[in-house]
């Protein structure tokens, strides 16, 4: 029987990441057969941190595999080209694992380049057609294009920064408030068999039940929330709080448990 651990939003080597060294994560995957990193594992486009972040990802994978843990990478908006794999489904499509950025037309509504990503994405979907795979692939390519096309001249002017700061915080709070409902609506349209979805992206950890769907957000290893880990062990899915003690991450308090055959 395969024991699977799902983590998201490690943001390795990002300035505000709580992970100082990937060795701190090693205790958390002990006893598991598979580790799924659900997007934003690394900072692929950071001018300052990309190379260091990519090396840290490689070190993490090597460390896990040396412990006989298979690693699967899903892409996020910070690392859209880290993998061609957008999502994983299991248990007769009742469980869906994806980063979660595809549910937003702008991918990251709180960013100054949100409208550019939305435009890229809409163009791609018009060509490919609209569907589950097309949504995810268009999101991946649009995220990559937007990141590569960002220039200093396209950034907000210095005089705009105070206004942009207020606007950004407002957008984040609005996204946090609407995200569960937005996710449920997206699933109903593009993945109607899903009963439990595991996402990250917004950095707001939580568990919500909307209609017949359970939405689990695993937060992030950075500001503002504590990370959570999802464990799939046979027919049981559990959510745990993750705590860092003495520079080691471990699963801590159980926050929820479901029997998948009962969904």
Give pLDDT, residue 226: 84
Give pLDDT, residue 153: 43
Tokens 């890229």 — which residue?
120
Asked if 216 and 207 touch (Cβ cutoff 8 Å), the reply is yes
Tokens of 77: 């908006």
Stretch 169-186: mean pLDDT: 94
Mean pLDDT over the full length of the chain: 92
Stretch 181-209: mean pLDDT: 97
Give pLDDT, residue 152: 46
Asked if 34 and 74 touch (Cβ cutoff 8 Å), the reply is no
Query: Which stretch of 35-39, 167-171, 229-233 has the lowest confidence by average pLDDT?
Result: 167-171
* Cis peptide leading into residue 224 (ω within 30°): yes
Give pLDDT, residue 123: 94
Tokens 């799902």 — which residue?
6
Q: Assess whether pLDDT exceeds 50 at residue 195.
A: yes
Q: Assess whether pLDDT exceeds 70 at residue 239.
A: yes
Give pLDDT, residue 156: 58
Q: How many CB atoms lie within 10 A of CB 24?
A: 16
CB-based contacts of 7, cutoff 8 Å, min separation 6: 28, 35, 36, 37, 38, 218, 221, 227, 229
From CA 138, how far away is CA 130, in angstroms rounded? 10
Report residue 100: phi and psi, to 5°: 110, -10
| Percent of the chain predicted with pLDDT > 70 | 94
Asked if 56 and 13 touch (Cβ cutoff 8 Å), the reply is yes
Instruction: Provide the pairing of β-strand 213-217 with 206-210.
Output: antiparallel
Model pLDDT for residues 101-150, shown as the tens digit of each residue = 999 999 999 988 888 899 999 999 999 999 999 999 999 999 998 888 76
CATH class of 3-262: alpha beta
Query: Which stretch of 64-73, 96-105, 133-142, 147-156 has the lowest confidence by average pLDDT?
Result: 147-156
Give pLDDT, residue 47: 83
The residue extents of the domains of the chain are 3-262
User: What DSSP character marks residue 12?
Assistant: B
């Amino acid at each position: 029987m395969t024991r699977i651990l799902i983590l998201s939003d490690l943001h390795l080597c990002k300035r505000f990441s709580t992970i100082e060294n990937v060795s701190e994560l090693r205790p958390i995957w002990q006893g598991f057969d598979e580790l799924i990193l659900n997007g934003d594992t690394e900072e692929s486009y950071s001018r300052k941190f990309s190379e260091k972040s990519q090396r840290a990802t490689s070190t993490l994978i090597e460390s896990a595999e040396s412990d006989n843990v298979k690693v699967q990478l899903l892409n996020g908006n910070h690392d859209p080209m880290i993998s061609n794999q957008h999502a994983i489904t299991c248990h007769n499509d009742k469980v869906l694992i994806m980063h979660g950025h595809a549910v937003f037309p702008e991918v990251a509504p709180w960013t100054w380049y949100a409208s550019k990503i939305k435009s890229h994405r809409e163009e791609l979907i018009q060509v490919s057609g609209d569907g589950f795979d097309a949504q995810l692939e268009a999101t991946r390519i649009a995220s990559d294009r937007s990141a590569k096309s960002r220039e200093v001249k396209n950034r907000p002017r210095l005089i705009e920064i105070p206004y942009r700061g207020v606007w950004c915080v407002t957008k984040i709070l609005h996204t946090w408030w609407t995200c569960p409902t937005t996710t449920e609506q997206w699933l109903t349209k593009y993945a109607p068999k899903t009963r439990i979805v595991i996402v990250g992206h917004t950095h707001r950890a939580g568990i919500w039940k909307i209609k017949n769907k359970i939405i689990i957000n695993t937060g992030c290893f950075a500001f503002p929330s504590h990370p959570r880990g999802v464990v799939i062990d046979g027919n049981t899915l559990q959510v745990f709080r993750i705590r860092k003690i003495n520079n080691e991450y471990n699963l801590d308090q159980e926050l929820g448990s479901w029997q998948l055959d009962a969904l």
